[in-house]
Structure 1
Amino acid sequence: MRWTLPNILTVLRLLAAPGVAVMFLYFHRPFADWCALLLFIAAAVTDWFDGYLARSWKQETKLGAMLDPIADKAMVVIALMVIVGYSSMSPWLVLPATFILFREVFVSGLREYLGDTAGTLKVTPLAKWKTTTQMIAISVLFAQGVFEHYLGMSAWGMDQALFEQIMAGQVEDLQGLRWKHAGMVWSGHIGLTLLWVAAALTLVTGWDYLQKAVPHLREER
């Protein structure tokens, strides 16, 4: 095995995947949301850099080729589990997350079954767009958690009628409730929209991989 810089970045990204969940075990929110958001963004950035460096420096290795998709899947799967686990279990969030998780398990199973012929399921440009969309969506949803908890902290102990008056602009907003609420709402909408786009790309690429695998799944007569 060659421990090149691209491979080291890939390993760090793989280690960062469970780190996202660990943030919520050892830190209180919204600090945990901040840590998870920054860790996830840093790991997502390395996803582009390790591939770019490996190609430009001609340091593509079997270790990197093996670990890169595993690190991507681990990041997405664990982050989605954390987001769904700390959410209100809205079907608008659970459904696309379920589609994404199902596809990742299904394609991984196909690759394992095909063994030496798994090269027929090479990562396509559309699959790369799928991964990028997933990572942006997850980052935005983590940001929603940040806005949500700062809003809750600012409104702690506040009378509901006063809160509604501030939101309606009838009372001066000294604690920034309106912009925190707007950030929470918009990041939620944008994050969910991107997650549904990612889920659609997930199903399309999953179907593409299945079609490519079908010739290798037919029984010999």
Structure 2
Amino acid sequence: MKQYKLYFDNYFTTLRLQIELCKLGIYSVGTVRMNRLPDLIMKDAKTLQQEGYGSMDYRIVQIDGVSLCATRWNDNNVVNCLSTLYSCAPTDIVKRWSSSEKKHIQVDRPNVIKAYNQFMGGVDLVDMLVSLYIINVRSNKYYNKIIFHLIDPSIINGWLFYRRHSLLKPRVPPPPAQRGRPAIRHQSQEVNASKRRRTESFSTF
């Protein structure tokens, strides 16, 4: 109940997951596969594409006391979002290249899509880093793939935390560079040392 907000991709997004998270005070936004919303009647992808860039359809439903907003938006492809945090309003304007008009056009974008694009970068970064150094295990046992997949992001997250921690460490500035000819610097050091000796000897009387 600390008002956490989670963003995840369509591999994880389900109705039941978002409902249970919301009951715990955790709001969530995620892209969703339409076959995971079987009872929700919305415009199909072909209809939205015929309506052009920026066309959208949405439904707001309430299940077990939790309000969810399902949104379909036509960008370069049709994007499906499920959210317990944002709805479509307010919309903003984004630019997209129109291949038919051969120019950039202004397109309405739902608020839920804007928020998802803004905060989804961390998951995309981890996915990209994992793909660079993935642990490739050939096994017919499904749980081995799950185990090593959990190891991959754990290593990546540890490395990211190490980098962040090392950047926060205080750095001692290097000593200032000494200027002047070496002979003059050596002579001034001898003068300073002789002054200290005279002061020490004078203080003993």
Larger radius of gyration: 2
Report which of the two has the higher share of strand. Answer: 2
Return the TM-score normalized by structure 2: 0.23
Report which of the two has the higher share of helix. Answer: 1
Return the TM-score normalized by structure 1: 0.22
Higher normalized contact order (CA 8 Å, seq sep 6+, divided by chain length) = 1
